[in-house]
Amino acid sequence: MARQDNAGDRISEAEHAVMEALWERSPLSAAEVCDRVCAERDWSMPTVKTLLSRLVAKEAVGTKPHGRKFLYRPLIERSDYVGGESRRLVDRLFGGRAAPLFAHLAQEEALTDDDLAEIEALLREMRR
């Protein structure tokens, strides 16, 4: 049972920004990724190139040669990443229980009325 490709290597904060760009649209060339993130994060091309290489090394994104350049596309699903990160947080801070997290967000008024409405809807849906 070989280790899952994307299991061991964590995606860092900066790398995550690149992943978001690729999740939003892919495949993209390095230059196109830069177009989408360099301004916001105040990065230069070399930075994006490095992050892309590291993500390729971590097998989080794959490359396909296209003409003279590479096109990059995510190899892991955003929902998997998001789910993993959420689970890690819940495990680490709330003993694996989601209710306390929810309680915390509620207490901090981090929940908007819309959030509440949506969550109620979800609950109703799950009940069925």
Partner DNA sequence: ACGAATCGTCTACATACGTAGTCATAACGG
Partner DNA sequence: CCGTTATGACTACGTATGTAGACGATTCGT
Strand-pairing partners, residue 28, are: 72
Which CB, 25 or 69, lies closer to DNA?
Answer: 69
Of 5, 24, 25, 53, the one binding DNA (CB under 7 A) is 53
Cα–Cα distance, 48 to 66 (Å, whole number)? 19
Site residues for its own copies per CB under 8 A: 13, 16, 79, 82-83, 85-87, 89-90, 92-94, 97-99, 101-106, 108, 110-112, 114-116, 118-120, 122-123, 126
Cα–Cα distance, 23 to 17 (Å, whole number)? 10
Torsion of CA 57, 70, 50, 43, to 10 degrees: -140
**Binding status of residue 21 toward DNA by CB under 7 A:** no
Cα–Cα distance, 34 to 79 (Å, whole number)? 23
Which CB, 80 or 118, lies closer to DNA?
Answer: 80
What number of chain residues touch DNA (CB under 7 A)? Answer: 25
Q: Which two tokens stand for residue 95?
A: 């003993």
By CB under 7 A, the residues from 63 to 82 that bind DNA are: 67-70
